[in-house]
Amino acid sequence: SVMDVNKSLVIRPKVGKTIFWLAFYSFWLLVGLASFYALFLEQSGPDLFLLAYLAFLFIAALEVRKNFVLLLYPKRHALHIGPEGLFFRKASPRTLPWDEVGKVSTLSKFGKTLVKIQRPSSSPGFAEDGGIAVRLSNLFKGKPVRSYLIDTTRLTLSADELKETIRAYAKA
């Protein structure tokens, strides 16, 4: 199919997977909270099992919150591709212009297929990599990063489809 690169695309998160994970973590959070009373309220003093249990409840609550926010604000977590560039909130706080898109490839990490967008070293604001501390500092300051990794697990486009879409827009 011919792609109109003058139109903007919004690739939203998958709703089905989000609902599944929201239900999954909500169930375990409720089971955990219900059994908390029976297990720990009759004991005195914290022990290692109690701390692990509280950590489990905390992680479940964070996952419930994350999935709930994803359902409430799908456009905020969508991938935006348009004539002006590419914007994905998880990858960067700013839009990546097409002239800063270099090599586009896919890679597998942790059982996920990611789309990697390499920025050319001639891009403005591009600094040589100074290690993890400098990278994190630049990321939090909103400065450009060397490469963008986009996890397509929850997006409605596959990694290969996304890679081809990005290449088509970058060429235009």
Q: Is 5 helix (H, G, I), strand (E, B) or coil?
A: coil
**Model pLDDT, residue 20:** 93
Whole-model pTM?
0.64
* Sequence letter at residue 121: S
d(CA 139, CA 23): 32
Residue 22, both tokens: 């929201």
Residues 86, 90, 91, 92: is their CA dihedral positive or negative? positive
Domain boundaries, the chain: 13-72, 83-171
Locate all alpha helices (DSSP H) within the chain, ordered by sequence: 15-40, 48-72, 132-141, 159-171
User: pLDDT tens for residues 6-55?
Assistant: 788 888 888 888 899 999 999 999 988 888 777 776 666 567 777 888 89
In 3D space, the residue among 99, 78, 92, 87 whose CA is nearest the CA of residue 135 turns out to be: 92
Q: Which residues of the chain have pLDDT under 70?
A: 1-3, 41-46, 121-145
Q: Is 45 helix (H, G, I), strand (E, B) or coil?
A: coil
Residue 141, both tokens: 């300051």
